[in-house]
Amino acid sequence: MNRILVLGAGYAGLTAATILAAHGKRREDVQIAVVNATERFTERLRLHQTASGQQLADLRIPELLKGTGVEFVCGWVTGIDAGARTVRIDDDRVMEYDTLVYALGGVADTAAVPGVDHHAYTFDSVHDAELLAQRLARLGGGTVAVGGSGLTGVEAAAEIAEQHPELQVVLVGRAEPGSMMGPTAKAYLHGALERLGVQVRSGVEIVKVLSDSVELAGGDSIAADVVLWTSGVRVPPLAAAAGLDVDERGRVVTDAALRSVSHPEVYAIGDAAAIRQAYGVMHGTCQSGMPTGVHAAVSIVRALKGKEPKSFRFGYYHTPVSLGRHDAVVQFTRPDNSPRRLSLTGRRAVWYKETVSAAPWPTYGRMKRFPRSGSLWPRGGRFTR
């Protein structure tokens, strides 16, 4: 019996699980299980909508996997014994594997700055986003400081400002918002933030978060009733603790086929993996996470047939950014994520962004029935051809 265990049913893990499920149905000698912290699928791409008080669809992973023969385990992974090839769950259950798919994602880095852990809200789970929504609904006025001026910070600031016009939103970070975009898209993004009344404080560093303010390097501070932290990425320490080779951020270092370089029976995908391409190590996105899930699943199926896995190749192709519910900007990119001249703005960008955000769940449904449809998932630009 080949026991395949997928840890994490986010964008990457669920992609791998649904493709494996489709292949597993035709084989008696394959057993597939998926472990995830919640039964509900976390649409991370939409957590800023949850945080600003919008209700999202309740997407249930066990419903999706029904009839596939895949075992779904709702639980928290607490440890991996890479030597014994076992995984421990928080109910003390121990699960054995022959092949492990490590897809536990990442969370905001709340350890980097003192006070974040105690005083800031995050987008680490639906529950965290809901807590922020409840707090914002009770405020009735005041200031929300969004720490981190990357795209998650931008989307959050715009969404909160639009849904809560009674609040002053300040976006605070080192980088200029949209700094990775071309001039047209960047100017549009800044115009939208200004229209929504978001105050931008870029080129500054938050050195401490307090209950009523954020302290900046140089001694200045910004008064804030609520702080949302979106900066940095921290991955679960499980891989490092299990003795897998990890990079300086704790992400599993993979070979070209997405297998751990130290433990080839472990495939690492999504935000939890350090995957090198010609342009450098990939940064975590859903855009790249789903293709890593496709590739890992296809490689596992090849291995079951006695074939060698192929190398994974990915190039970025777009950066879609929502600016509230009625505006958006999409920067099209080269495979290395540098901006092309082409961008979309306004209504066409809103449609594009919504189409992208809504795509994963129906795609899982298709992949579990027609595994080859996974290979149709875009792998990126010219680099992949």
**Contact residues for ligand FAD (CB under 6 A)?**
8-13, 35-38, 42, 44-45, 47-48, 76-77, 103-105, 123, 152, 155, 236, 270-272, 284-287, 289, 320
Nearest distance, CB of residue 63 and ligand FAD, angstroms:
15
CB nearer ligand FAD, residue 47 or residue 206? 47
Closest CA to 103 of 35, 24, 33: 35
CB nearer ligand FAD, residue 126 or residue 224? 126
Alpha-carbon gap, residue 39 to 35, rounded angstroms? 9
Length of the chain: 385
CB nearer ligand FAD, residue 215 or residue 269? 269
Nearest distance, CB of residue 305 and ligand FAD, angstroms:
26
Q: Please list, in sequence order, all residues whose beta carbon lies within 8 angstroms of the beta carbon of residue 53, skipping any fewer than 6 positions away.
A: 133, 136, 137, 163, 164
CB nearer ligand FAD, residue 172 or residue 215? 172
Alpha-carbon gap, residue 321 to 328, rounded angstroms? 6
Nearest distance, CB of residue 184 and ligand FAD, angstroms:
19
Residue type at 58 in one-letter notation: D
CB nearer ligand FAD, residue 213 or residue 253? 253
Alpha-carbon gap, residue 332 to 325, rounded angstroms? 20
CA distances to 11, 38, 51, 80, 164 from 289, in Å = 7, 19, 23, 22, 32
Contact call for residues 16 and 9 (beta carbons, < 8 A): no
Contact call for residues 123 and 48 (beta carbons, < 8 A): yes
Nearest distance, CB of residue 28 and ligand FAD, angstroms:
28
Nearest distance, CB of residue 306 and ligand FAD, angstroms:
29
CA 262, distance to chain mean position in Å, is 25
Nearest distance, CB of residue 318 and ligand FAD, angstroms:
9
CB nearer ligand FAD, residue 47 or residue 329? 47
Structure tokens at 205: 């560093």
State which residue has the least CB distance to ligand FAD. 10
Nearest distance, CB of residue 256 and ligand FAD, angstroms:
19
- What count of other Cβ atoms lies within 10 Å of the Cβ of residue 355? 10
CB nearer ligand FAD, residue 148 or residue 213? 148
Contact call for residues 4 and 97 (beta carbons, < 8 A): yes
CB nearer ligand FAD, residue 189 or residue 215? 189
Closest CA to 100 of 73, 118, 82: 82
- Residue 105: DSSP 8-state: -
Residue type at 126 in one-letter notation: V
Nearest distance, CB of residue 167 and ligand FAD, angstroms:
18
